[in-house]
Amino acid sequence: MIGIVVVSHSPALARSAVDLALEMVGESPPPIAIAAGAGDGIIGTDATRVADAIDEVASAEGVLVFMDLGSAVLSATMALEFMATTEEVRLSDAPFVEGIVAAVVLAAAGASLDEVDGESRAAMDAKRGQLDRQPAAVHVKPVEAVIENSGIDVTLVNPDGLHSRPAAAIVKAMAAFEATLTIANATTGKGPVAANSLIGILSLGANTGDVIRISGTGPQAAEAVEALGAMAVDGFGELPDTRIGA
């Protein structure tokens, strides 16, 4: 996995952003190092701390560095002169919180530095899409699960639709298959987007009751589509337990 470094003026801010991202990936996160604060409770950043953080998580897969604002960028740039590693290190211009979450999820799925870098830089797209006027709905007859060749239509039953946690679960699950999957919101006409893109999935704005269309190609496409369909039918584990006494 690639390494991720978080540079912030505030240790509390950095830790909170990382904790949010880690909630999405469970027990197999990528290597993450935090370089936050200037020591002794001073708000600021320190280039030597950033260099040490880079060296801590560096590997042949590369390192992606996130910065919050102002002098964090300067410190990260200076750190490139101080670091000991000769592996590739990139400074990301992604939005701080959204970029970190997107990067951690995709890196945990084994994506390359190029893929994680691109995903994190697009991390604001989903928010922009949600704030824009929604396209006219396409009327599609809802179905629970109908498999057709390498595709399946599933009606979302989890209360909050495809929000960040189910999206992260999809990205993680798809890493196990040799297949390329896409997801579209058949109810609104949005998509398709890559099933291994957290930001793409969120951009669908798929809510409970919407029909998502999952399609796939590749040697394990049928298995991957079936697995993702089963996750959706199960509500991505978010359905309330209705057993008596539960």
Positions marked active-site: 9
* Residue 24 and residue 18 in contact, taking contact as beta carbons nearer than 8 Å: no
How far is CA 217 from each of CA 3, 181, 192, 193, rounded to the nearest angstrom? 30, 7, 14, 14
**Within a 10 A sphere around the Cβ of 128, how many other Cβ atoms?**
9
Name the pairing type of β-strands 89-91 and 145-148: unpaired
Return d(Cα 212, Cα 214) in angstroms, integer: 6
Residue among 55, 7, 64 nearest 30 (CA): 64
Cα–Cα distance for residue pair 149/57, rounded to 1 Å: 43
As a whole number of Å, the end-to-end CA separation of the chain is 39
Peptide bond into 142 cis (omega under 30): no
DSSP 24: T
